[in-house]
Every structure is written in C-alpha cells, then in structure tokens.
Amino acid sequence: MSFLTGLLRPSLPPGEHFGLLAEFTSPAELYHACEGVRDAGYTRWDAHAPFPVHGLERAMGLRASRLPWVSLLLALGGGITGMGLQGWVSTLAYPLVISGKPFFSWPAFVPVTFELAVLGGALGAVFGMFAMNQLPTLHHPLFNSQAFERASDDGFFLSIESWDPQFNPDRTADLLRRLGAKEVELIASAPRQAPALGGATE
C-alpha cells in the first residue's frame, strides 16, 4: 500500500521553498525566456501557458517523450496475451474441433489479438501519461501563488525548482528578471493557510 500511496505523492523538492515562479506577458516572451533558462543549464524547471505554444519543447530543450515506448510495450503485451491465451485454450487447455479447422486457427484469433493490442496501447498511453505527469496531484506548491491562477487563463509562467543544482534564490531570480519576467515570486513548499471561513480579513 505504501508503494501505491508513494506513487500518488508527487516528487517535490525538499526544503522550505519549492522554487521561483516568474510571470511573462506573452507567449513569445515565455518562449525566449525558456531558451535563456535552457542555455543557462537549468534542468528542473517547467513552463506553464493557457494553450500549447508551438516549439516550446525545443525552446525548453526537452527530450522526446518516452511515452510511445510505454504504449508500444503494452500494445505488444496485449497482442501477445490475446494470441497466447486463445492459442493456449484452443490447443492445450480445451481443444475443440470447430468447423473442421485446425486447433491453432490463428486467423480466427486475430480480431481479439488486435483489440487487446489496441486496448494495451491505449491504456499504456493514458496511464503512462498520468504516471509521467505525476497525476493525480491534488495539490501543488505552485498553487500557493495567487498569480498562478491565471496560468489557465491569460498568464504565462516559468517555474524553476529549488532542487535544481544551479538554483540560487537571488541569482536565479536575477536571471529571470533579465529574461523579461514581469514578476518573480518565491514559492513556499508548505500549503498556504486556508482563510478562515467568515472571519474578518484584517
């Protein structure tokens, strides 16, 4: 069980601060900032935009995703399972003569093999994506930032995590400002205290 709950817990940088969050005003600025952060040698960081920005993966220097391999492996696994199960049942476990055909009538097994390969590939793609994105993550330290709420509306953000070997709260913040950040915010690791219900705000 602890293994499963461990899977559900996102891997986050230890320590008091999650990292720095920088806000940019346009996708083009975000794009160029990503190039700058990439060229500065940072490795543990991410970009956030309300819509897909084409070419951003190149600007960020991301490797090709390994997700297709997960999908392919599970597709092959599904196909082998489908053909293997039918072959085993029809030749060894419960051989029956069906319309005078051989026990191992592979053409008849192809539809199920195909369907299980598709099922395996699809499940691999969906759940592999979930696993690689560490989803579901119910809370994330970036939610501590009020400004970050606009990442799904009209805000363009770049976050650098504190466990990046290059990370230094001051120098990294300077770099982000030099790259055109409108606002740079230090993000705490601990969740923000929820405001008391019905309480006075002052």
Partner 1 sequence: MSAPHHSGGTGPRPASLHTDALHLPPGHSWHRLPTVGLTLAAVGLGGSLAFGLLGGTEARHQLWHSWLVGSLFVLGISLGALFFVLVQHATQAGWSIVVRRLAENVMGALPYLALLFVPLAVLGLGDLFHWSHPEAVQSDPLLQHKAAYLNVPFFLIRTFASFAIWSVLAVWFSRQSRLQDETGDHEITRRMRRRSAPALILFALTVTFFAFDWLMSLDPHWYSTIFGLYFFAGSVMSFFAVLALVALAAKRQGLLTLVLSDEHQHDVGKLLFAFVAFWAYMAFSQYLLIWYANLPEETSFFAKRMVGTWSIAGTVLALGHFIVPFFFLLPRTIKRNATALRLAALWLLAMHLLDLHWLVMPNLHPAGMAPGLLDALTLIGCCGVFLAAFGGALKRRALVPLRDPRLPESLTFENV
Which residues contribute to the site for partner 1 (CB under 8 A)? 26-28, 31, 51-56, 59, 64, 68, 72, 99-100, 107-108, 110-111
Q: CA dist 106 to 17, 78, 89, 103, 112, Å? A: 59, 16, 12, 9, 11
Shortest spacing between CB 123 and partner 1, in angstroms:
18
> Of 110 and 129, which CB lies nearer to partner 1 in the complex structure?
110
> Of 31 and 167, which CB lies nearer to partner 1 in the complex structure?
31
Shortest spacing between CB 31 and partner 1, in angstroms:
5
Q: Provide CB contacts within 8 A for 16, sequence distance 6+.
A: 188, 189, 190
- Identity of the residue numbered 167: F
Strand pairing partners for 23? 157, 183
> Of 116 and 187, which CB lies nearer to partner 1 in the complex structure?
116
Shortest spacing between CB 117 and partner 1, in angstroms:
12
Shortest spacing between CB 110 and partner 1, in angstroms:
6
> Of 28 and 126, which CB lies nearer to partner 1 in the complex structure?
28
* Alpha helix (H) residue ranges in the chain: 2-8, 27-39, 56-60, 67-88, 106-132, 169-178
